[in-house]
Structure 1
């Protein structure tokens, strides 16, 4: 039975994963640690993408036998949870909050985006791996603390954090995909001519008006900030 396949994974018991021992309980002292194995998997995903992460390849990275890895991560599903929480440890959680919940929430989003751009596989992993480990919980706690001045109840604050994370993941995934597409100046010019022709045909007045408006900075950071401002500035506290 293939242990790397998602279809055969029985699911992850979060209490066993995060509150249990990180090392095998029986046998001789282990040569490897769960932390080292997870770091190797992260490095592999960073270099080659999430699909490249298999137990066999991770074992080769750390110089271990495949079977020995199953004591730390019984399947790829578990390994992915470990990877997500491992990189979440890069997020700062001790910086002083300003007390301006909108500004603090925007800072949270910018930190999330930077993390996802450093680890391009992360947005996809977050879409299916939502069992928060200790690092993820620490950053979630920071975001919820930033929302304290809103007076919202706990359920609403959790919803806002989930909405924010989903927005950042979607935007980061788009940025990553766009960066991977080779788009020549000639192609960009051809697309601009096409849109100009469509706008001039008289059948798309709203598009024509939109295209006639002054352009805005297209730098990824500026675009993200504009979208983020619209999202957070529109959040209410009732």
Structure 2
């Protein structure tokens, strides 16, 4: 999503102002919308048409408002993305307490993140570069850091592990969605299979030939995600 700032080139909103200060009522006539309603409309638009469809002009048309009036709710596109990301993070159930089995807890966290990103396919791209964590994202982060306490890692390392896990899930879901789009074209998929078979048979790619001749593994999206996740989490070094 390209930058689309507020009039006058205003910069990013102070996170404390965005998340810790209640939305201030304006003088005069009661506003027609709330920040929550505008954010909900933006999420619905992104869910339906993708993140590129979310422009201030399009959003204004969706809610029946003037473009300029939206800047009082979200002064720039990056702030709107922050609001959208935190709104959908509210869907993440936060367990009351970790189980004490940090690997199992971490895998459970990853599965929750994957499910959220599949419900909102625009989220992996929107998370890139997000630095302003809202209250719902912070609640989930707090749980993840607590789940990692039994590792003995210091706070900075636990934060890095969570960031690594979230990056893995976002990247995997983006790939998963791209694969789904590709398999919608059977002709293209068949052509790619024929191409790889031809290359593997030329004698110059013995490693590839061995891989292609190996027994097939379950290739459902869920099974693939589970294998990759196990390799990541089970291989984490906490020394």
Using the size of structure 1 for normalisation, the TM-score is 0.91
Tell me the residue number matched to 2:46.
Answer: 45
Which stretch of structure 1 is more off in the superposition, 224-233 or 65-74?
65-74
How far has the Cα of 1:182 moved from its partner? 4.7
Gaps of 5+ in 2: none
1:123 & 1:187 partners in 2: Cα distance?
26
3-state DSSP class of the match of 1:181?
Answer: helix
3-state DSSP class of the match of 1:21?
Answer: coil
1:42-63 Cα offsets, whole Å, 9 max, x none, are 0011111111112222223223
1:25 & 1:32 partners in 2: Cα distance?
12
How far has the Cα of 1:184 moved from its partner? 4.2
How far has the Cα of 1:129 moved from its partner? 2.0
How far has the Cα of 1:209 moved from its partner? 1.6
How far has the Cα of 1:201 moved from its partner? 1.6
2:16 & 2:96 partners in 1: Cα distance?
29
3-state DSSP class of the match of 2:109?
Answer: helix
Tell me the residue number matched to 2:81.
Answer: 80
1:52-101 Cα offsets, whole Å, 9 max, x none, are 11222222322323222221111111111100101000000135532210
2:183 & 2:5 partners in 1: Cα distance?
32
Say if 1:129 and 1:226 are closer, same or farther in 2 by CA, change over 3 A.
same
3-state DSSP class of the match of 2:182?
Answer: coil
1:99-137 Cα offsets, whole Å, 9 max, x none, are 210011011011111111111111111012221000000
Tell me the residue number matched to 2:121.
Answer: 120
Tell me the residue number matched to 2:182.
Answer: 181
Say if 1:97 and 1:28 are closer, same or farther in 2 by CA, change over 3 A.
same
Using the size of structure 2 for normalisation, the TM-score is 0.91
Which stretch of structure 1 is more off in the superposition, 61-70 or 115-124?
61-70
Say if 1:210 and 1:182 are closer, same or farther in 2 by CA, change over 3 A.
closer
1:167 & 1:118 partners in 2: Cα distance?
17
3-state DSSP class of the match of 2:164?
Answer: helix
1:28 & 1:224 partners in 2: Cα distance?
52
How far has the Cα of 1:5 moved from its partner? 4.5
1:89 & 1:4 partners in 2: Cα distance?
26
